[in-house]
Structure 1
């Protein structure tokens, strides 16, 4: 148990650092403070490998630090980022990337989960948080959330799937070893 806790803390720290670095240096603007953000693919990968707690905190902490360095924290979006990792991580056991092959069935499950998670956090929760916390106009934040959700789903769908497929190839799958 202690070894898993240490792995989780290290994975969270690395995930948060990667979230900041990738978020600052690879940022392609598309609409009103909304950009193509490749760090979400890394967050999704870590959520699948290490579970919901690492998924939540690597995204939440990384997003807070990135926004602090970029000029201002937007709590509704930081919380939504954490929840994205949490939701994806809740399905880590069903994807079981450490134990079984990352086959097309697992890729479809991963992408279905991440698309649903993106719809929930960016299409509903982040815009509602913007309205409640910051008194933002509904049309603006729901448009912004919709665009962010679509872009993040595509980013995770492509980048996250590739990262997980590459990671899975480095793992010894159960039943893959034979006795000579």
Structure 2
């Protein structure tokens, strides 16, 4: 896997993290304390799928940490790091989705969604609850319930909104990128 990190990726991290922070307050309660359906998950999945694991990790880490600090006063680190884990896992397969090349078809949509389901499980059913227990001494039953709810919510919002973002970009944006390198 060859990863490049240039101007486009820096811009993607900056804009992506800012949008992630802005979307922090767009949330639908899932009936579990401190667990919401949030469209920012779809944005993160989309950016990781287009720009790769470094952008995915940076947007997830920076966006979640700054969003927590801005809106809640401090970062809840056990939920910040799983965003980066998710971004890395989805981003590792960026070339296979062919979004940038305009080839995000049926096979790639299925692949994207299988990967996002697995990445969400790793982030929210494994990493977040374990870190909640280790860092904050949270009750085991509570954190695993929150993790499963976050996993389900993210899977649904990404399957719908993340897929739509990727399809739209693949059809339109990939062919007309306005970012060009100057001499």
Q: Counterpart of 1:143?
A: 145
Quote the residue 1:113 is aligned against: 115
Q: Is the Cα–Cα contact under 8 Å of residues 113 and 159 in structure 2 kept in the other structure?
A: yes
Question: For 2:29, what is the secondary structure of its paired residue?
Answer: strand
Equivalence for 1:178: none
Looking at structure 1, the residues matched to 168 and 135 of structure 2 have their Cα atoms a distance apart, in angstroms, of 40
Q: 1:94 to 1:69 in 2, by over 3 A?
A: same
- Which is further off, 142-151 or 96-105? 96-105
Deviation for aligned residue 1:59: 1.2
Unaligned runs of 5+ in 1: 173-180
Once residues 15 and 116 of structure 2 are traced to their aligned partners in structure 1, the CA distance between those partners, rounded to angstroms, is: 21
Partner Cα distance (1:81, 1:40) in 2: 9
Q: Deviation string for 1:116-173 (max 9, x for gaps)?
A: 000111001100000011111100000000000000011111110000000011134x
Q: What is aligned with 1:164?
A: 166
TM-score by length of 2: 0.89
The 3-state SS of whatever aligns with 2:57 is: helix
Count of aligned pairs: 170
Paired residue for 2:69?
68
Q: Supply the RMSD in Å over aligned alpha carbons.
A: 1.5
The ranges of structure 1 where at least 4 consecutive aligned residues each deviate by more than 3 angstroms after the TM superposition are none
What is the 5 A alignment of 1:117-136? 117-136=119-138
Aligned position for 1:175: none
- The CA distance in 2 between the partners of 1:131 and 1:50, in whole Å, is 32
Q: What is aligned with 1:22?
A: 23
Runs of at least 5 residues in structure 2 that lack an aligned partner in the other structure: 176-183
Distance in 2 (CA, whole Å) between partners of 1:118 and 1:50 is: 18
Question: 2:56–2:88: 8 Å Cα contact kept in structure 1?
Answer: yes
SS in 2 for 1:110: helix
1:97 Cα shift?
1.4
1:22 to partner: Cα distance: 1.0
1:35-82 CA distance string (max 9 Å, x none): 111011011111111110000101110100110012231101000011
In 2, Cα distance between equivalents of 1:36 and 1:16: 18
Match of 2:58 in 1: 57
